[in-house]
Amino acid sequence: MPEREEITAVVITQNEPFAIPVLLEELLARKADRIAAIFIAPPTVGRETFGQLIARWRSVFDPLTFVRYGLRYLGARVLGPTPARVARNHGVPVEQAPDVNAPEFLERLRSLGTDLVISAACPQIFREELLNLPPMGCINVHSGPLPRYRGRLPTFWVLYEHENTTAVTVHVMNENLDDGPIILQEEVPIPEGETQANLMRRCKAIGGRLLAQTLDLFERGQVQTRPNPRDEATYHSFPTAEEARRFRAEGGRWL
């Protein structure tokens, strides 16, 4: 077996109660001893209020789905395994990161001896100084088949486009969205009748496992990458109300 060099990694994520806990459970069950901290980052200041967030989701859900999703969200936030609860169950400290590019946060990473930063749906953009801080770089896990389906909600868009398969991708980060060389990618079949919520959770579980495998590769010095070609990339943002109506009209389901 190749010699292993133990590394110290941190995860930067968000306080999302449905899918992020699934990813963290898979990762920490395998690699809690390598994760120095889980950092919870809020959306970038000034982006949108909570009321605007609710209005945005209301625009894409039918009334019944909106109510069901809202009840699930409240239940998950109050009773479910939130990211912080999952981390603490595995003995991993949880800290807040109001601004991941702030000097004080970068200094905190240095104080932890951070070798590798993992982004798991972090809602803030990593700037150059953060990207260059850890000796082994920053990596991201994306629930889509890069280079296609860059951007937001890839699990919605593959269903919207009636794909038979998708993928989960771990890649090196740079200053561009979902860019950087691919380290690992695993194909994910999409069964008939799959919902967006279930596909998202399945992809996050795979993502947690792939991150654990990626940590092994870094420790063994066996990381190999392949291109993530920009000329083959497709990009998606949050769906419009019209796109959401088409999704439902063609049999798509959120829940």
Mean per-residue pLDDT over the chain, rounded: 93
pLDDT at 69: 83
* C-alpha–C-alpha distance, residues 202 and 211, integer Å: 14
* C-alpha–C-alpha distance, residues 16 and 210, integer Å: 20
- In order of 54, 127, 190, 236, the CA distances from 101 in angstroms are 27, 6, 37, 25
pLDDT in tens, 27-65: 999 999 999 999 999 986 456 676 777 888 888 998 898
* C-alpha–C-alpha distance, residues 37 and 92, integer Å: 6
- Is a pLDDT exceeding 60 seen at residue 22? yes
* Domain ranges across the chain: 9-249
pLDDT in tens, 138-162: 999 999 999 999 999 999 999 999 9
Contacts of residue 112, Cβ cutoff 8 Å, sequence gap at least 6: 8, 10, 36, 37
Rounded to an integer, the average pLDDT of 83-99 is 96
- What is the phi/psi pair of residue 228, to 5°? -125, 75
Q: Position of tokens 């920053």? A: 138
Q: Are 95 and 37 in contact (CB under 8 A)?
A: yes
The model's pTM: 0.93
Nearest by Cα to 122 from 154, 144, 92, 99: 99
pLDDT at 112: 98
Q: Tell me the CATH architecture of domain 9-249.
A: 3-Layer(aba) Sandwich (3.40)
Other beta carbons less than 10 A from residue 114's beta carbon: 21
pLDDT at 1: 46
Q: Band of the pLDDT at 75, cuts 50, 70, 90? A: confident
Percent of the chain with pLDDT over 70: 96
